[in-house]
Chains A and B, each alone.
Chain A
Amino acid sequence: QQQVKQSPQSLIVQKGGISIINCAYENTAFDYFPWYQQFPGKGPALLIAIRPDVSEKKEGRFTISFNKSAKQFSLHIMDSQPGDSATYFCAASIEWGEGFGNVLHCGSGTQVIVLP
């Protein structure tokens, strides 16, 4: 059973546009929601993360919006650049968890293509 659902599977945006990726989760025990960015042939890299006690976190052009009641969160990439073209994975975990929570549950990934 997929713990985190991610959409869209892919998106194409013009340079300067906004890329939006959405994720939803079921397990209310999750309390740490990172986003990973992966370029072709490279390992994923932690991009930005949020905890459910805040509704929004911004780092540069990247913003996470979090809706705890809806169990949804999203990544917004403002002023998208060709260098942002990559696959983005949302994920969920229990920050100080053990056992079941001691794993990273990833969404299926979104391939973002930013046209010059």
Chain B
Amino acid sequence: DTEVTQTPKHLVMGMTNKKSLKCEQHMGHRAMYWYKQKAKKPPELMFVYSYEKLSINESVPSRFSPECPNSSLLNLHLHALQPEDSALYLCASSLTPGRSGELFFGEGSRLTVL
């Protein structure tokens, strides 16, 4: 079982809804990540939090808003999404920001935007 826990596993939302994805890890990792994965494609980096501070934002639209309340939690707030935002959203963590190649992924949140 993965040590990175994501909730919910599935989410269906309309374009006017506001929802949040949540991620939690208790491995003491100090870097946390959000990735977006479309079908049959590799994960694409969205955000990197390094010691609870946003360090990388890969030009993601503002309708995605990350939040890192503490070193164990990572949220992704969703608002006014588009149908093309439907994807598997993966949370990951690494021991330190420098160990970005050794990622521990959660099982993902499958998002469908109607």
Contacts and interface: CB of A to CB of B under 8 A. Distances in A.
B7 interface: no
A33 B107 CA distance: 22
Interface size class of A (residues with CB under 8 A): 20 to 34
A34 B43 CA distance: 14
Given A44-B90, A109-B41, A104 B106 contact: no
B56 to A, nearest CB: 7
A57 to B, nearest CB: 14
Interface string A93-116: 111111001111011110100000
A62 interface: no
B106 A43 contact: yes
A76 B102 CA distance: 20
Contacts of B98: 95-98, 102
Contacts, number: 77
Given A102-B56, A103-B48, A44 B101 contact: no
A81 B55 CA distance: 41
Main secondary structure of the interface of B (DSSP, over half): mixed
Nearest to A31: B101
Interface size range on B against A? 20 to 34
B34 interface: no
Given A43-B2, A89-B43, 13 more contacts: A32-B101, A34-B103, A36-B103, A43-B107, A46-B102, A93-B101, A94-B101, A95-B101, A97-B98, A102-B55, A102-B97, A103-B45, A109-B41
Interface of A: 32-34, 36, 41-46, 49, 87, 89, 91-98, 101-104, 106-109, 111
Interface of B: 2, 4, 6, 40-43, 45, 48, 50, 55-56, 90, 92, 97-108, 110
- In order of increasing CB-CB distance, the 5 nearest A-B pairs are A93-B101, A43-B105, A106-B42, A32-B101, A96-B98
